[in-house]
Chains A and B, each alone.
Chain A
Amino acid sequence: MHTLKDSLSSKKFTITAEICPPKGTDVSDFLKKAQLLKDKIAAANVTDNQRAVMRLSSLACSVLLLKQGLDPVFQMTCRDRNRIAIQSDIMGAWTLGVKNILALSGDHVSFGDHREAKAVFDLDSVQLVQVINKLNSGTNMKETPLKGGTGFFIGAVVAPEAEPWEPEMIKFEKKIEAGARFFQTQAIYDIDKFHKFYEYARKFDVKILGGILLLKSAKMAHFLNTNVPGVTVPKHLIDELEKAKDQLEKGIEIAARQVKELKKFCDGAHIMAIGQEESVVKIIEGAG
């Protein structure tokens, strides 16, 4: 099986994509999407109850991907588990063969389908990276030796278009200090701004995969701008979508164009197609 780590260390342009677990136990569509993407991408991220909507576990789905021969990036948020459960599940993933992990804070429960739930956030994303690094070194977060540690390739997230930028940059550097080795960014739209971020980020020993979010329609772009934190789709892209006969095809074309741009200088791209995993193949082909 090709792995994310091999792909990134070989210095070739690396593409990852997100596959969302189903809302239930019927995994047939999930497996179909895995088969479709298997030879097209280096690894697939499995989201952890994204937007705080309850779905099949990211751990279980990561293991399903392994069985399909696709390298999973096990996403782990701080929203739903305390530090005991987090360490336990991370070790569980390792024993089941998962090699990549992406540490995130997680969307707040107030966005999701269980708004009455207690939001845990016992750790934050920087501390989560630290904890995984500890497990990698063979101890738990209390530095008690474990009977067998982990060896994860640790990833984290950065928002290159965050405004103001300095506090985000400080957090990015803390994640690197804590042990993050690759970053998948939030959706990027301003390629020049991203290029500047990349020039700064390459000073560190980390790999950067630029986040590409497929715009399925102009309506979706408007929705993102009003409802999704940290995402701002620029007006010129919305106009482009609105004028198009087939908005999804246009969205794919825009995403492919963005990936092509990234290929000129970046380590890779992370494609988020939210339920439109079939389109990922077209985006990759379109990017040449």
Chain B
Amino acid sequence: MSSSSKCEIPLTVNGEKYSVIARQADTLLFVLRNHLGLTGAKPGCLNGDCGACTVLMDKTPIKSCMILAIEAIGKSVTTIEGLRDAPIQRAFVEHFAFQCGYCTPGFIMNAHALVESTPNASEPIIEKWLESNVCRCTSYFEIEQAVKSVLAEKQASKD
């Protein structure tokens, strides 16, 4: 079977079940955008370099341009459209952590996974996580402030 032959791909995205007819060679990013209309994940480089297409697969951030849709079968995919009032979204708004907004969905998904999985993240860990995404408008300082504010809230609610 060639990579261009189409098949039925069952996907779970944002808690909803979908069945998509797509090529086996189609990336998850392409299927999310072109089949499901979920255009929050952005095609910034299609090479895994910029992070604008970041989504969560079973709570782990992945670059959806670097993975095939068929690899997401049986996993739970969360895109920016699936976040509902996540603290990181408000923090990005309040800290002016974006301008043009194009890298924002990827940054937010990555940062969301960080604060959820590692609420006590140290500075080097924050850096390690977020260096995978590129932003050209902000100075990154605003994004750092947004992420740290959510971590601080998490800390405070724990204490």
Instruction: Say whether A associates with B.
Output: no
